[in-house]
Amino acid sequence: MTGGAAATGLVVGAHGRHVMVEAEGGVRTRCHTRGKKSDCVVGDRVEWQRAGDEGVIERIAERRNLLFRQDEVRSKSFAANLDQLMVLVAVEPMYAETQLTRALIAADTAGIPAVIVLNKVDLPGAGAARERLAPYRAMGVAVHEVSLKADGAAAIAVLTPLLAGRATLVLGPSGMGKSTMINRMVPSAAAQVGEISQALNTGRHTTTTTTWYWLDPARSSALIDSPGFQNFGLRQLDAAALTQHMPDLRKHAGACRFYNCSHLHEPGCGVREALERGEISPSRYRIYQELHEELSATRY
């Protein structure tokens, strides 16, 4: 039957103009958006109308937040209405601190709380990995440790309270253990992915689309898996606003002699003085320099 009153639902999968919408009772319907471009992302609350066996998205409800990345060419949205971002890194392979920083800045810009999970702490390099994360702990980011493969039960015990009652997007480069985490926390993950991929005609799922997984029968906790951790552009930010989203630098920026200090070369810079005193890590300051240069480049 076509037409009738608009229904409400949650977008739990998206691919191109097609999305999977879940109603309150858990029934899922393949829907499409009007026009050629889709503005829907996973996590959106929408109003839709049935059109035959499918549905048409009529309206996207106002979002609490939206996590996205932006480079010189385009913007890529991860998900909307998130309660938390979880960045998964590992002892091996060595994670890129620049990418970790970029994800945390994007979350802070969107007003989304973030946590870091360090995986594979059973490996010999755990001490060095902890040391690299010390500046993040010092600036107030919670860091949790797990060994998803070596001790799955203990990992679940750590992760379950972190995820309870929240919609959490997990980001992590290849090799960090994201698939292992999802399979541990969501035993039905493969079946859910298959259902969404088949409905959206995306073929065999290779983590190319964002997917929403419920963690409990009451549907109060969710884990959202998204690809695209590499090349995490922050072109939505102005270079002058960068320190506002880096807590360790922000703490000292108020001590600068000049209100518009770039923290790169001006005399009386509170940030560089803190760096010299060892209160800001050299790696974090190098990342700031790189990002400032990138964001100061001419935009086309």
Helices (H) and strands (E) in the chain, counts: 8, 13
Q: Is 121 annotated as belonging to a binding site?
A: yes
Is 243 assigned to a binding site? no
DSSP string of 123-191, one letter each residue: STTHHHHHHHHHHHHHTT-EEEE--TTT-HHHHHHHHHHHHTTSEEEEE--TTSSHHHHHHHH-TTHHH
Q: Is 256 annotated among the ligand-binding residues? A: yes
227/185 Cα distance (integer angstroms): 18
Q: For the chain, where are the alpha helices, taking DSSP H only?
A: 97-110, 126-138, 152-163, 178-185, 189-200, 247-253, 270-276, 282-296
Contact 9, 26 (CB under 8 A): no
Residue 37 marked in a binding site: no
**Residue 263 assigned as binding residue:** yes
Instruction: Please indicate if the annotation marks 172 as binding a ligand.
Output: yes
Q: Say if residues 125 and 118 touch (Cβ distance below 8 Å).
A: no
Ligand-binding annotation for 177, yes or no, is: yes
Say if residue 261 carries a ligand binding annotation. Answer: yes
* Residue 122 assigned ligand-binding role: yes
**Is 174 labelled a binding residue?**
yes
Annotated binding-site residue? 178? yes
| 31 annotated among ligand-binding-site residues | no
Residue 254 is assigned to a ligand binding site: no
179 a known binding residue?
A: yes
Which residues does the annotation place in the binding site for Zn(2+)? Answer: 256, 261, 263, 269
Which residues does the annotation place in the binding site? Answer: 119-122, 172-180, 256, 261, 263, 269
Which residues does the annotation place in the binding site for GTP? Answer: 119-122, 172-180
